[in-house]
Amino acid sequence: MNWNKLTEAIQIQEIKTLSADKPVLIFKHSTRCSISSMSLDRLSRKWKTEDEDKITPYYLDLITHRDLSDLVAREFRVPHESPQVLLVKNGQAVYDNSHFGISYAELMDKI
């Protein structure tokens, strides 16, 4: 999986713009949490190379960038959770889920 790293606040506007053409996935990951690691691993194992034609994936290390994680929550009007996936279309979060609710199949159904 070729993650784009979400490391700067300006990227949120870029994500909103990009999502007008193709949905964007944001995966908020806590590097200190085993559930987060399991969720990331489950998603990565099921990801297919051709999925990147359908969706642009972003990875946010929320331990390193907690302020950015909070900004994502505010900008997309979702509660902060970790781990968490957001699906952004046309500049808005149209789907979010967390912990064991993170499902590759469900995410692909939403795009």
Q: Quote the CA–CA distance of 8 and 20 in Å, as a whole number.
A: 20
In 10 A of CB 67, how many CB atoms? 10
Q: Which domains does the chain have, with CATH numbers?
A: 4-110 (3.40.30.10)
Coil, strand, or helix at residue 18? helix
Q: pLDDT tens for residues 19-76? A: 999 999 999 999 898 989 999 999 999 999 899 999 999 999 999 999 999 999 999 9
Predicted confidence (pLDDT) at residue 101 exceeds the cutoff of 90: no
Task: Render the burial of 18-40: b for 16+ CB within 10 Å, e for the rest.
Answer: bbeeebbbbbbbbeebeebeebb
